[in-house]
Structure 1
Amino acid sequence: MATILPENQINQELNSSVHQFFRNQKLGTLLNQSNIRKEAGISPVMLVQFIFSLVLQKKNLYRTLESAREPEAPAKDAVYRLLNNATYNWRKFLLLLSQNVITQNLLPLVSENRERVLILDDSLYSRARSKSVEMLALVHDHTTGKFVRGFRMLTLGWSDGNTFVPLAFSLLSSEKQSNRFQEINPTIDKRTVGYKRRKEAVKKSTEALFDLLDDINPLQLCARTLLFDSWFAFPKAIKRVVSEYPLEVVCMLKRMHRVYYTYEGQKYTLTQLYQVVRKKRGRAKILASVVVSLGLDDNEKEIQARIVFVRDRNRSKNWLAILSTDINLPEEEIVRLYGKRWDIECFFKVAKSHLALGKEFQCRSYDAMVAHTTIVFTRYIMLALRTREEQDPRTIGQLFFLCCDELEDIRFAEAILLVFDCLKASLTEEPVLSEEMVESLLDRVFDNLPTFLKRAFPQPEKQLPSALAA
């Protein structure tokens, strides 16, 4: 059995972004509040920090757990018990962390005049080579237009235009049983939060989005607008968002022949509506703007919305339509607000390219995929927070590689400190040498070190021997 991580090693006061982030955001407390706790053995916060740092250390989970060169690694069973537990509420943990980061760290940096928005979108969670993964299904990939094995990762996030923070997500399977390769594990207790997530996975995305919205408080996050693309832009979904939540909707519209908008008492499809409205002359980017009613059934109340037709910059003779349920917003403001939706696309790119989303290790359990995705999102939150607080001009990808190098330096510094510690212990055993002589000898040894070795230590140069003495 592998050796348990020593607590003093985790709590070392090193110049590590990971250690600082876990300590400042009190991740141990948040894990405990999310029912992620253990009565005996290694604590969950140490296990999460171990998994969290793997990508930054350029390590593989399986090889690290099996390697005899990693005596500080936790036991393999402890890691997999953490990932596969159906009673752990990982969604609550991510939401608590995101809310704390937004309210305590980001909102004080944001002007009250700046618009804060919620963004909803989905992305492919590919498991193309898998066969026995729980809830695995054929899902549609929007980028290629093909059906592939995997899940649709429906994600809800917060943005102020500069920083994106993921709030909640759901790994959606297919609502059609014929498209699913595997069903729910029959041994899962139906009273657990893991079973509820599995039942949510077989819902339509337009229904699952309300499960995500139910878990957050938009007023606490100072957000009043929800952004999403045309895949969710159905009148029924738009009306439900506006009527049940303190949110306005800004979304892209899709040309559907069965969706009608009421204008001047007549019902038109989106294409027909563009043909009847009056266009602006010249090469204007905003071609037209019109207020319509979204009518669902004769017995339901209609809501008003503004549709802005803009020129497609990729195809100058084509057009795009953006809808806003706040009819008082200027046309330019509607277009600008919708532009904030691009933040979630950048988030998906970073999570897949740098943070090993869905690639770090291959698990068959649905709970393990949810747990690992939450840890990947936590990595992104750390990088996004560091970028914002330091006003760093570097991209999140550059900061990712910087953190990798930082952890490499820390491990090297720990080795040097261990050498100094052994040297001091050996010198202290000599009866001829006093404590002052040992300290003076260590000072001289450290002063003669090359400059690049001195920079590896987080302490000031002259404080190293006294720190070792302590």
Structure 2
Amino acid sequence: MKSIAEIFDNSKELLDSISNFIDKYIGSSLLRKCGITKVIDSVTEKTTFEYADNPLSRLIGTVKESKFLEKCVSAKQLLTDKVLVGFAAASPYRMFKTGNFFRDYKKDTFYRFDLMPRANWERLQLEAAGNVIRDMESQTDKNHTCALIFDDSLYARTGGKGTDLCGRVFDHNDHKMRTGYRMMTGGWTNGEVFLPFSQTLLTTRDNSLMVGRDTPVDRRTIRGRRRAAAKEKGTDTVCRMVREAKKSGIPFDFVLFDTWFSNPAQLVELKGMEVDTIAMIKKNSTKYLWTAPETGEIGRLDVKEIYSRNKKRRGKSRYLLSVNVTVVDSEGTAIPAKLVYARNHSNRKDWVCFVCTDTSLSEKEILEAYMLRWQIETYFKLTKSYLKLRTECHSTSYDAITSHMVIVAIRYMILAVERFKNSDNRTIEELFYGVQREIVNELMDCAIVLMIDTLLDSIREYYNASECQIAELVSLFISKLPENWKNRFQMPKVA
């Protein structure tokens, strides 16, 4: 029995939210559906363990005795620990080496969790995000806009020669070729909360740019389908993610993306799926069918020519120009759309153009809806800077990297849910530091209690002190502590 009972500061709401999130939105049943099961930690030989007696064994006539006893760690426990290490100050490797890890299983057990051959991590993220979204929508009114946001970001890898499917990919930020993957991300937002529901690490389709291993895998397996998806075109991946979102019942009004995906073929394909799009378009040579308002003449013009042939709005208007056009793909399929021109905030003399395939929306609604797209950029920044997206996983397995990417997304969802549930004014970064601070305090409290209990056991053994004397010593010790330290410990009862 401990002489000093540990009391954590405050109520540990953020730490509790991690286990509550996994119990409520994931659970053991979803983990089993995704092929994520328990991991064997160790095997003990020559035990007296016997298989339980049951009707089948009685029918066979024998009750077998096992020569081995397996110690297993549940999938839910491993997933919880995977989420927790993202908020700890030290790396999992350092925590295992110094013996300060949360649990008592082996290091290999922790890392083998990412390498399950039948684990469908993509489904886990989609189902978990869908459960969170449906729960949030049931708690809010229907007078708000929901949208899907798609974009990619560089997932850099140093070297990459031994990493599966690692290649030279184009980085849109600095317009250079980098070693790694393009992390294609699909997220859902209701204007207040952003939740990543699907992610894929895209690599190059050019064999000359492939840096890492490209080992053939049976495409009928989950690992094979995952590697096939890694070589898809970015536009095909976006359409696939939209279909998955519709199939899982995620509600949304339209799709948002940047100029890299706003080509006519993409707009037409999404419209064929009964999905409307709002996107920024490039000032390139892509032609749109436009009808002159004065003469009724129909011409194929690019966005620059359409801008130059129309009268712009004067003053401090929210937009400069709005025209209705027809978008035509290479196969001749045509859909109506609206082009909205607005001033470029970076250069007031310049302009940017947006396209919307829902012509019933006003120009104000189009511009306000597109502003939601910035939330995916903050997601990339937060996961890379705070949630250890690039620094925690050093595995060379494509499956392990995918697992790590999904776990980082779950960490972000936990913080987003906590902020939504409490109507918290704090940012995601402040919530992250709150969780990290509580984990550090918990480890420090455990270490302090262990040291004091060891000291008291030594005093009890060396001086043959009674429990009453030990309690008086502890009370005297706690009374001399500062006030903020006294609240962390419980005063023992003195007889």
TM-score normalised per structure 2: 0.81
Is the 8 Å Cα contact of residues 117 and 160 (structure 1) preserved in structure 2? yes
Residue in structure 2 matched with residue 79 of structure 1 by the alignment: 110
Say which is worse superposed, 144-153 or 263-272, in terms of deviation. 263-272
Give the Cα–Cα distance (whole angstroms) in 1 for the partners of residues 160 and 244 of structure 2.
31
Contact residue 184 and residue 198 of structure 1 kept, 8 A: no
Following superposition, the deviation at residue 194 of structure 1 comes to 1.9
Residues 311 and 321, structure 2, Cα contact 8 Å, conserved in 1:
yes
Task: Return the structure number with greater relative CO, CA threshold 8 A, min gap 6.
Answer: 2
Checking the alignment, whether the CA contact within 8 Å between 2:160 and 2:167 is kept in structure 1 is: no
Query: Taking structure 1 as reference, are residues 146 and 347 closer, same or farther at Cα in structure 2, changes over 3 Å only?
Result: same
Structure-2 separation of matches of 1:219 and 1:330? 30
AA partner of residue 95 (structure 2): T
* Residue 427 to residue 53, structure 1, CA distance change in 2 (3 Å): same
SS of match in other structure, 1:191: coil
Letter in 1 for 2:225: K
Which deviates more from structure 2 when the two are superposed, residues 29-38 or residues 148-157?
A: 29-38
1:236 matched to 2:273? The reply is: no
C-alpha distance in structure 1 between counterparts of 2:117 and 2:397, whole Å: 10
1:33 CA drift (Å) = 2.6
Amino acid at match of 1:173: T
- Which residue number corresponds to residue 312 of structure 1? 344
Task: Say which is worse superposed, 264-273 or 443-452, in terms of deviation.
Answer: 443-452
Listed as ranges, the matches of 1:384-403 within 5 Å are 384-403=416-435
Q: Which deviates more, 218-227 or 139-148? A: 218-227
In 2, are the aligned partners of 1:229 and 1:252 still within 8 Å (CA)?
Answer: yes
Q: Residue 130 of structure 1 aligns with which residue? A: 160
CA displacement at 1:440 relative to structure 2: 10
TM-score normalized by structure 1? 0.85
Q: CA deviation at 1:378?
A: 1.0
Name the structure 2 match of 1:260. 287
| SS at structure 2 position matched to 1:216 | helix
SS in structure 1 of the partner of residue 81 of structure 2: helix
| Paired position in structure 2 for 1:10 | none
Q: CA deviation at 1:455?
A: 3.7
Which residue pairs with 2:84 in the alignment?
53
In the alignment, is the contact (CA less than 8 A) between 1:31 and 1:44 conserved in 2? Answer: yes
- 1:249 aligns to 2:281 (yes or no): no
The separation in 1 between residues aligned to 2:309 and 2:229, in whole angstroms, is 42
Paired residue secondary structure (1:162)? coil
Q: Is 1:180 aligned with 2:210?
A: yes
1:17 aligns with: 14
Alignment partners' CA distance in 2, 1:150 and 1:215: 26
Unaligned runs of 5+ in 2: 1-9, 41-71, 292-297
CA contact under 8 A between 1:57 and 1:407: conserved in structure 2?
yes
How far apart are residue 168 of structure 1 and its match? 0.5
Cα shift at 1:444: 8.5
Mapping 1:162-311, distance limit 5 Å: 162-186=192-216, 188-217=217-246, 220-245=249-274, 247-257=275-285, 259-264=286-291, 265-297=298-330, 299-300=332-333, 302-311=334-343
1:179 Cα deviation from its structure 2 partner: 1.3
**Percent of aligned pairs sharing the same letter:** 28
How much does 1:386 deviate? Answer: 1.6
Q: Does 224-233 or 388-397 show the bigger shift?
A: 388-397
1:77-116 matches, cutoff 5 A: 77-104=108-135, 106-116=136-146
Q: Which amino acid aligns with 1:20?
A: S
Measured at CA, do residues 415 and 125 of structure 1 come closer, stay the same or move farther in structure 2, by a change above 3 Å?
A: same
Q: Secondary structure at the match of 1:363?
A: coil
Residue matched to 1:6: none
**Aligned residues of 1:120 and 1:228 also touching (Cα < 8 A):** yes
State the Cα distance separating 1:372 from its structure 2 match.
Answer: 0.5
Secondary structure of 1:286's match? coil
Q: Using a 3 Å threshold, how does the CA distance of structure 1 residues 413 and 16 change in structure 2: closer, same or farther? A: farther
* Structure 1 unpaired stretches of 5+: 1-12, 466-470
Residues in 2 aligned to 1:102 and 1:92: alpha-carbon distance in whole angstroms? 15
Match of 1:149 among 159, 166, 179: 179
Cα pair 1:61 1:361 within 8 Å, conserved: no
Spell out, residue by residue over 1:246-271, the C-alpha distance to the aligned partner (whole angstroms, 9 max, x if none): x31100011221x2211123211122
C-alpha offsets along residues 140-183 of structure 1, whole Å, 9 cap, x if unaligned?
11111111101000000011122111101000001222211124
SS at structure 2 position matched to 1:56: coil
Q: Is the 8 A contact 1:409 1:456 kept in 2?
A: no
Summarize deviations over 1:315-369 as a string: whole Å, max 9, x none.
Answer: 1221111111110111011000000000000110000111111211311110011
Q: Secondary structure at the match of 1:339?
A: helix
